[in-house]
Structure 1
Amino acid sequence: MRDDPSVVALVVRARGGDKDAWDEIVERYASLVWSICKAFRLSRADADDVGQSVWLSLVEQLPRLREPAALPGWLATATRRECLRWAHRAERQQRLSLQVDADVLVDAGAPALDQELIDTERNAALIAGFRQLDERCQELLSMLMRQPPVPYTDISAKLSMAVGAIGPTRARCLAKLRRSPAVAALIRSERETQEGGERHGHAVVE
């Protein structure tokens, strides 16, 4: 799968702003995302939320995907990680009444807690950016990211939009999402963190 030239071509085209390539990626791999959610026995509503988070993450991460052919593996990993986060969230809610040793929480749980805070901040930024979109973009993206995917004919009827206009409109909505203050700040922050880590790594090697 990692050597599949069609996957490489799709990623390259999508990175270049090809609207049809984005649509084909969603259509091709929506069933993969859905099947993983189903394996975790998530409810339909939770699976929809997981799928939306995964596709929004791809909007941000695709330009930095080092190996385009690894897209299916990236999607599978991102979906499993998001499913685990939802499962852990449900488990934590069930344990709210339990006492936890403060020293254990600070010493042993700090790294996991830090990562959780980072993930929470990231998801909050994506959700904030999504909410800043106009109602039509929100509805279109929600339908396109739903699991299982909504047929284009249904989207066309629901939004009174020509089937051929769905792809271009979706690309414009995603571009607006990337330009939203919350998501733009998130992308800048993660890029600066990554560049800072690379500089630090070079300094250590030197």
Structure 2
Amino acid sequence: MRTDPPSHPSAEDEVLAALRRRHVREAVAALPGRCPQLVAAITEDPPPTYREISRRLGMPRGSIGPTRARCLACLRTLLRTERYG
């Protein structure tokens, strides 16, 4: 059985990945309202429940999903228009 050695990212790949992460963090910080806090919460590992997010951010549980969708749409637009990542 032949096994290939594990591939390691090149230094250039690591630098580009770090730049993408920085650009995404900057774009998230530029989002309006409580979007930065909501995006930060939903990207935690493990992600908190909607109940925990509701309590933490002081927003009704029923508004988390629609707000999340708007925040992510805004983030996608910002990343495209600002040429991040």
What TM bracket, shorter-length normalisation? Answer: 0.7 to 0.9
User: What is the deviation of 1:158?
Assistant: 2.2
Cα distance in 2 between the residues matched to 1:132 and 1:176: 10
User: What is the deviation of 1:161?
Assistant: 1.6
Where in structure 2 are the equivalents of 1:88-103 lying within 5 Å? none
Name the % identity.
Answer: 36
User: What is the deviation of 1:124?
Assistant: 1.8
Cα distance in 2 between the residues matched to 1:149 and 1:120: 23
| 1:121 match | 19
Where in structure 2 are the equivalents of 1:157-176 lying within 5 Å? 157-176=55-74
Higher helix share: 1
Cα distance in 2 between the residues matched to 1:116 and 1:148: 25
Where in structure 2 are the equivalents of 1:82-161 lying within 5 Å? 112-161=10-59
Gaps of 5+ in 1: 1-83, 85-110, 188-206
Q: TM-score, normalised by structure 2?
A: 0.73
Specify the code of the residue in structure 2 equivalent to 1:116: E
Specify the code of the residue in structure 2 equivalent to 1:175: A
Q: Deviations over 1:147-188 (max 9, x none)?
A: 2221211211222222111000001111111122xx21146x
User: What is the deviation of 1:130?
Assistant: 1.0
SS at 1:148 equivalent: coil
- Note if contact 2:28-2:39 (Cα within 8 Å) is conserved in structure 1: no
Gaps of 5+ in 2: 1-7
Flag the structure with more relative contact order, 1 or 2, with Cα contacts below 8 A and sequence separation at least 6: 2
Cα distance in 1 between the residues matched to 2:38 and 2:26: 17
User: What is the deviation of 1:128?
Assistant: 1.4
SS at 1:146 equivalent: coil
- Which of 54, 75, 85 is residue 177 of structure 1 equivalent to? 75
Cα distance in 2 between the residues matched to 1:158 and 1:141: 13
SS at 2:46 equivalent: coil
User: What is the deviation of 1:134?
Assistant: 2.9
Cα distance in 2 between the residues matched to 1:147 and 1:121: 22
Q: TM-score, normalised by structure 1?
A: 0.33
